[in-house]
Amino acid sequence: MRIGPHELSSNLCLSPLAGYTNLPMRLTVRELGGLGWGTTDLVNARSLLERNRTALKLVATTAEDRPLAIQLFGSVLEEMRDAAVMCQELGVQAVDINMGCPVRKVVSIGGGSAMMTELDKTARLVRAMVAAVKIPVTAKMRLGWDNDNLTAPDLARVLEDAGVAAIFVHGRTRAQGFSGTVNLAGIRAVVAAVDSIPVIGNGDITTPEAAKHMRDETGCAGMSIGRGAFYDPWIFRRTEHYLRTGELSPEPDIAERLRVLRRHFGRYCEFYGEEHGARLFRKVAPWYAKRFGPAKPFKNSMIAITSRADFEAAITTYLSWRTQFCDERGDLLPKFQPAPMVASFMRPAGDVDAPGQDIIRVPKGPVEVW
């Protein structure tokens, strides 16, 4: 897959996850292999132009963190344009525009010409950004406001015409939030709407099979994974392998999970400082634990760590507690093994929110712009 001039090493992308897809996470995932394209958390264009400290931290990157797009959020044309120029100067490979749900006004004033007005405004903004930079400009959107307003195909066409180099589409409407099933037909309609730019499908990919299913059902050029990478940072490597060979590699064992958890944590301490890094990592560690099997004491102790020592102590105590659920080789007894992951769009109809399956929880945050 190509995004502008960039030929990607795989067609798998990391979705922006505000509060998580920082430099430590991106480096950790990249090191495991299989990731073709990374993205920052969303960054407020104005804050970036003002060189706000938090915004600068969000765009921090290194030579190993390539290829990378910075995701910008904002609606003032001049700010988005100038922030795109700043991204280019920072040396990243692309600028991604967070479209949230750009046609909000359509719904409140009744569609029709209102929608065209909004699309015109969006196209003007995008054209100004595209004209201001040499790096590709991409866009991320949902399918639309609700099932009666699936506007993503129209928007995608307008954006392609305005010079956007790729479209990322989360296969849900804004009204859906994060519930229900990802609508593969909705993604397929976006793929069909554009002429030549890649459309990257997104939503609920938690297994290599789910990525393949989305590709086969929608014809999307690439797949983007967000929450699936939280508790399975190996998902890119495993998926790339599966798409290339048809073979499913096993899920990592506990030793590998802890090795990567430690790498991730170590990078948090380096990047944010030990105490602040440890505090921030409190919300990351429980995601890893989702595939540990029984892990309550692990989660309870991780949410109180303030240092490297606390972190290591939590692991040591947890591993000794966990032996009661394992055989003599240290493997979890079958009845304690976590159930296989099944993406929403691969479950039998009616089983979408079945207990135990709805395990991709959504952390609190401004979901309306995701």
Q: Which residues bind ligand FMN (CB under 6 A)?
A: 15-19, 41-42, 71, 98, 140, 170, 202-205, 225-228, 362-363, 365, 370
Indicate the residue among 190 and 315 with the shorter CB distance to ligand FMN. Answer: 190
Whether the Cβ atoms of residue 151 and residue 106 lie closer than 8 Å to each other: yes
Q: Which two tokens stand for residue 167?
A: 């479209």
How near is the Cβ of 336 to ligand FMN at its closest, in Å? 26
Give the residue closest to ligand FMN by C-beta: 226
- By beta-carbon proximity to ligand FMN, the closer residue of 171 and 322 is 171
Catalytic residue (one of 13, 87, 101, 220): 101
CA–CA separation, 32 and 233 (whole Å): 7
By C-alpha distance, which of 29, 9, 8, 31 is closest to 17?
29
- Considering the complex, what minimum distance in angstroms separates the CB of residue 309 from ligand FMN? 29
Structure-block tokens of residue 240: 């790339």
Looking at residue 367, its amino acid is V
Minimal distance, residue 207 CB to ligand FMN, in Å: 12
Task: Specify whether 87 is catalytic.
Answer: no
Token pair in block for residue 4 = 């502008």
Q: How far apart are the first and last CA of the chain?
A: 24
* Closer to ligand FMN by Cβ: residue 71 or 93: 71
Q: CA-CA distance, 297 to 59, in Å (whole number)? A: 35
Q: Whose Cβ is closer to ligand FMN: residue 52's or residue 307's?
A: 52
Rounded to whole angstroms, how far apart are CA atoms 44 and 74? 6
Residue 273 vs 365, nearer CB to ligand FMN: 365
**Residue 335: CB partners within 8 Å, gap ≥ 6?**
none
Q: Which is nearer to ligand FMN, 18 or 126 (CB)?
A: 18
Distance, CA of 368 to CA of 345 (rounded, Å): 22
CA 113 – CA 119 distance, rounded (Å)? 10
Q: What is the smallest separation between the CB atom of 322 and ligand FMN, expressed in angstroms?
A: 28
Work out how close the CB of 110 gets to ligand FMN at its nearest, in angstroms, rounded to a whole number: 27
Q: How far apart are CA 168 and CA 189, in angstroms?
A: 13
245: Cα within 13 Å, side-chain hemisphere: 9
Minimal distance, residue 16 CB to ligand FMN, in Å? 4
CB 166 within 8 A of CB 200: yes
Catalytic residues: 101
